[in-house]
Amino acid sequence: MLALAGILLVPAAACVGVLRQWRACLLSLGLLYILLALMEGLAIGPRIAVSQLIVGLTTLAVVSLSARQIFAETQSYVIHGRLPGWEYLFESLVAAVAAVGAALFARAHPLFSLPGPVSFAWTWLGLAGLFMVVLASNIIEVGLGLLVFDAGLNLLILSTSAGEWWLSLIIVQVIPIALALLIAIAGIRLSHLGHGVSLDVLKEKAPFVMGHTGPVRIRVRRRNQALSGMQRAVEP
């Protein structure tokens, strides 16, 4: 059962990054959280599984409500819009390569003596989340990628230290809810102002972007002028 849940995590996470309709993406994210809770229940214990299920459903509810508001204002119900239709095949191949890489890494480097399916699951979720963040073109995509990456981090931390350090349980279970709230606030705020949720908006609005600033010019005084100025300062 543990191996089956790990295998099913591959299409669940891949669909979050490939499917364009936001409702389908969130359904895939919900399935991912259910499978993650099942794996943690089998590998760690039922209390961890129940906690993960509650946190996952809460995170999913926050993302769903914010996405409904955002797409109602922007009149666009498509999350992923980077490439034309052949992107499905391209991203499916990328997901397959990442899954094979995660399986090889988990087999060659089983960290902390974790079971094979657990090592594969957290490695795959981490790689899938990173790919989503790198390929993201809007705030919603970044949020989904970070949530998938956090799911892998959650599985790794709880599998290695949940029984010894309960503070880790609190921290890793709060992170996805905080990420969902942050993405919801940023996305709703930008869509309400009519800017959309594209990352280009952040590049234009962020005060720390220095792309439009001119070159910095430093005036250098000549040696003779500097010496004469010092002499005048020394003279009584």
Q: Where are the domains of the chain?
A: 2-232
CA distance 66 to 30: 15
Cβ-Cβ contacts under 8 Å for 36 (sequence gap 6 or more): 9, 52, 56, 121, 151, 154, 155
- Give the residue with greater pLDDT, 199 vs 10: 10
Burial 63-85 (b: 16+ CB within 10 A, else e): bbebbeebbebbeeeebbeeeee
> What would the pLDDT profile of 12-63 be if each residue is shown by its tens digit?
988 888 877 778 888 999 999 999 999 988 888 888 889 899 999 999 999 8
- What share of the chain has pLDDT > 90, as a percent? 17
Lowest mean pLDDT across 35-39, 107-111, 141-145, 200-204: 200-204
Q: Is the pLDDT of residue 142 over 50?
A: yes
Q: Is the pLDDT of residue 219 over 70?
A: no
In contact, 180 and 63? CB cutoff 8 Å? yes
pLDDT at 148: 93
